[in-house]
Amino acid sequence: MVRIMTDSQRVDSSSGLNLFFHGCGSGGHLSLGSAAATVEQQGTPLLLIDCGPGTLASFQQRYQCLPPALFISHAHMDHIADLEILTVRARLAGVAPIPLFVPLSIITTLHQRLATYPGTMAEGDHNFWQAFQLLPVTDGFIWQQRQWQIHATRHHAPGSSYALHLAGTLFYSGDTRPIPEVMAHCLKGGERLFHDCGLHANPSHTGLEDLAREYPETLRQQLVLYHYANEQDGEQLRQAGYQVARPGDCFALGASQA
């Protein structure tokens, strides 16, 4: 049992950054939306993390614009499918190319899954990548005067899924089994921690029973869980003492979050 120590709805922080959740669901159960979130600064979107089915509609509803930049954690469809819509909307809106940060090792898969469809736009004269500025990422990247890092996680094949990390501010696990070695060695202190977790563990994702075995209590107290099957499962995670994100939640990031 861990105790909730912070108010998930507070959106003022020393970093000035918040994380807004468009969806918190797991791939096979989309009643909570595709897992995706936007790092925003005083209501202005900085970086969209993942873009699965429904993410773009949620983004445009909140910000009334297209994403200014995206980071893709991995190439499962519940994290990339809306890029097909975005490439067309960006072209029509005249805002292309949109910076798209993609871990180097998943670019081939991303290309094969989304960019090879013949005749991307019915109007012609368009291919998938024209709407994006592809920015391959090895260890990290600079965006909006900040140094973002990525860390390989445990989700299907090695080197196919990555966490996003802004030192002292944000750690977003992406889809993963527990990664205690990453959390122990890479966190700088002060990060708000968002972690994949469903009610039951499986070979692709973290489950409630994993947390107590893999992470110390001080770290578990700081976790905000997302990527679970449905609202009932989310409630059970909450009853176990954890913070749990809901679609539409906005979390303050950085050291003064509590």
- CA–CA distance, 54 with 16 (Å, rounded to integer): 27
Q: C-beta of 123: minimal distance to Zn ion in Å?
A: 32
The verdict on 50 binding Zn ion (CB under 5 A) reads: no
- 52 contacts 81 by C-beta, under 8 angstroms: yes
Least spacing, CB of residue 258 vs Zn ion, in Å = 30
Is 227 a binder of Zn ion (CB under 5 A)?
no
Query: If binding is defined by CB under 5 A, does position 175 make contact with Zn ion?
Result: yes
CA distances from 50 to 55, 61, 233 (A): 8, 16, 23
The length of the chain, given as a count of residues: 258
User: Would you say 175 or 249 has its CB closer to Zn ion?
Assistant: 175
Number of residues that bind Zn ion (CB under 5 A): 2
Report, in Å, the least distance between residue 109 CB and Zn ion. 12
Burial of 97 (0-12, 13-18, 19+ CB in 10 A): middle
Site for Zn ion in 70-89 (CB under 5 A): 76
196 binding Zn ion? (CB under 5 A): no
Q: Which residue, 52 or 254, is less far from Zn ion as judged by CB?
A: 52
**Footprint of Zn ion (CB under 5 A):** 76, 175
